[in-house]
Chain A
Amino acid sequence: MTLVIGIGNRDRGDDAAGLMVTDRLRGAVSQRVSVMQFDGDSTRALVEMAAVEHVVIVDAMPSTGHPGRMHRLDVTQDGDVAAYRGSSTHGLGAGDVIQLARALGTLPRKTVVYGIEGKDFELGHGLTRCVDEAIPIVVARILEEVG
């Protein structure tokens, strides 16, 4: 069983990227794949991840100067998830979820993170054009991976 998790906030500009990708994946993925979305606190993602063998997490990430660029990280063994650490104790970000799952021994046998570099995370803003254009590319890449 494969699980694709989109994380983000639809009201904060490019932070919505993970949700936009999973919006399109719903209906496009095979029956063996389930799609879930989380906005803000991702504690429940930990519980859901524990039950599957393959998880793909899609989330926006801070820009390294190339908004819209996609990063694929296989974090099954280790992998640097520091860039994905949330900044709040009130909600677990994707990096926290992966580190906690690894510490708890519940990390799926294959865990992959797709990070999409964002540019604008302001409240009330939509996706910036370069991130919007990256969405179908990330969708196609994940479909290729999970089927």
Chain B
Amino acid sequence: MTHERRLTVEGLARVEGEGGLEVTVRDGKAISMTLDIYEPPRFFEALLRGRSFREAPDITSRICGICPIAYQMSAVQAMEDACGVTVGPQIEALRRLIYCGEWIESHALHVYLLHAPDFLGYESGIALAQDHPKEVERGLRLKQVGNRLIEVIGGRSVHPVNERVGGFHRSLRKDELNDLAEDLRWALDAAIETARWVGRFAFPDYERDYEFVSLTHPSLYPIIEGRLASSRGLDIAVREYEDHFVEEHVARSTALHSHIKGRGSYLVGPLARYALNFARLSPLAQKTAAEAGLSEVCRNPFQSIVVRAVEIVYACEEALRLIEAYEPPDPAYVEVEPKAAVGSGCTEAPRGILYQRYQIDANGDILEAKIVPPTSQNQRAIEEDLGGVVERSLDLDDDALRVRAEQTIRNYDPCISCATHFLTLQVHRE
């Protein structure tokens, strides 16, 4: 006799944006799992057309309140690539520094308020705060350190305004960064405490042989630099991205699905960065990872919370290093003259690689824009995880199974609003 269970969740909590999920299991096998993304598309790529290439960082930063730096950075890289301009090491260093702020605030928010409640049995970050005020306070203060870093360099903490094609509108004096260093020294200790805390959580027994994709660089843990690489041998320049990665529409999602040509799903984000770049982490971040129970490659998506904590450690240390070595860029930006060309950029948003490509004309007007956010690249991997996790968790009753399925999605810290161009969960057991 055929036995089917169908699990449904409508309106997933603790993710950004609107979507749903449905899994059907027949005789112990997941026969369909869908992540339905019904949030309306926002048409950013269309509204960029006809605008000046200089406006792209300010327009794209509006796509997301949590990762505006990622959108700005990939955009300015693409424009500088199109115009054949290279910026100096001081500008690169300041870009990397402000990006550290984004990793700290985004990861701290997800670790403490969005993901930790899953592991400790709370329905929300607020419920968690009632029983674990010390930890949640630490998380909020960590997030605040990241936001402050963005505010000081970027002019404001949400949708910062100081970045421009070619560099920054205004350079910062070294003394303007001094207060940040003090905050970051506290944050580094707090990040190590965070890794110890989440490392003790109980993780569901689930691993998958993902094809990890991230930027890689010979000497740096990648944030804004390097080539695109995968755990199955891909090694390409950013401008070759579209030769290897394909976006397609699927009926259930207003976010495009991505796959690697000839292979299928892949995974971007903290697990991928960590697996492909462990050797480039600082010794302290490596030691923190080991003490929190991680080996050099982590294939259990539930442990992404630990990897995020390790990346907070890294980002705090790296920010301190960059502040110590800081020399104000002078001038604050390189003058960029437009030319008719196509340019591409790719940086490591907290959730994974964010690719952008623009075609501009000789006046610098944007003729075509393509933006591929990390969450849309991860959709297929999320669906595959849902099937795999639900198959291994069929002993759970429907409520517990639903919680597990939601937790599986939150492993990815999905940003549905960024991806639409994304959740409600439905599980059917028939």
Contacts and interface: CB of A to CB of B under 8 A. Distances in A.
B141 interface: yes
B125 interface: yes
A81 to B, nearest CB: 11
A91 B140 contact: no
Interface string A11-55: 000000000000000000000000000011101101100000000
B332 interface: no
B137 interface: yes
A89 B114 contact: yes
Interface string A60-93: 0000000000000000000000000000111100
A96 interface: yes
Contacts of B136: 100, 103-104
Contacts of B140: 43, 46-47, 100
Contacts of A99: 126
A43 B142 CA distance: 11
Contacts of B133: 103-105
Contacts of B147: 41, 43-44
A47 B15 CA distance: 24
B16 interface: yes
Given A43-B143, A44-B144, A47-B144, A100 B158 contact: no
Contacts of A91: 65, 158
B66 interface: yes
Interface residues of B, number: 27
A47 to B, nearest CB: 6
Nearest to B148: A44
A68 B241 CA distance: 51
Contacts of A39: 158
Contacts of A44: 144, 147, 157
Contacts of B130: 103
Contacts of B157: 41, 44
A103 B127 CA distance: 8
Nearest to B14: A89
Nearest to A47: B144
Interface string B54-78: 0000000000111000000000000
A105 B137 CA distance: 10
Given A47-B141, A103-B129, A40 B158 contact: yes
A103 B136 CA distance: 10
A103 B126 CA distance: 7
Contacts of B16: 88-90
A39 B159 CA distance: 10
A88 B416 CA distance: 11
Nearest to B137: A104
A131 to B, nearest CB: 23
Given A41-B147, A43-B147, A100-B136, A89 B15 contact: yes
A41 B113 CA distance: 14
Contacts of A40: 65, 158-159
A106 B134 CA distance: 12
Name the residue in A43, A91, A104, A105 with the highest tally of chain B Cβ atoms < 10 Å from its Cβ.
A43
Contacts of B126: 96, 99-100, 103
Contacts of A105: 133
Nearest to B17: A88
B94 interface: no
A44 B147 CA distance: 9
Interface of A: 39-41, 43-44, 46-47, 88-91, 96, 99-100, 103-106
Given A91-B158, A104-B129, 8 more contacts: A40-B159, A43-B109, A88-B16, A88-B417, A89-B113, A90-B66, A91-B65, A104-B137
Interface of B: 14-16, 64-66, 109, 113-114, 125-127, 129-130, 133, 136-137, 140-141, 143-144, 147, 157-159, 415, 417
10 closest cross-chain pairs (CB), A and B: A103-B129, A103-B130, A40-B158, A99-B126, A104-B133, A90-B16, A90-B66, A89-B16, A40-B65, A90-B65
30 contacts: A41-B65, A41-B147, A43-B140, A43-B144, A43-B147, A44-B147, A46-B140, A47-B141, A47-B144, A88-B16, A88-B65, A89-B14, A89-B16, A89-B109, A89-B114, A90-B64, A90-B417, A91-B65, A96-B126, A99-B126, A100-B125, A100-B129, A103-B127, A103-B130, A104-B129, A104-B133, A104-B136, A104-B137, A105-B133, A106-B137
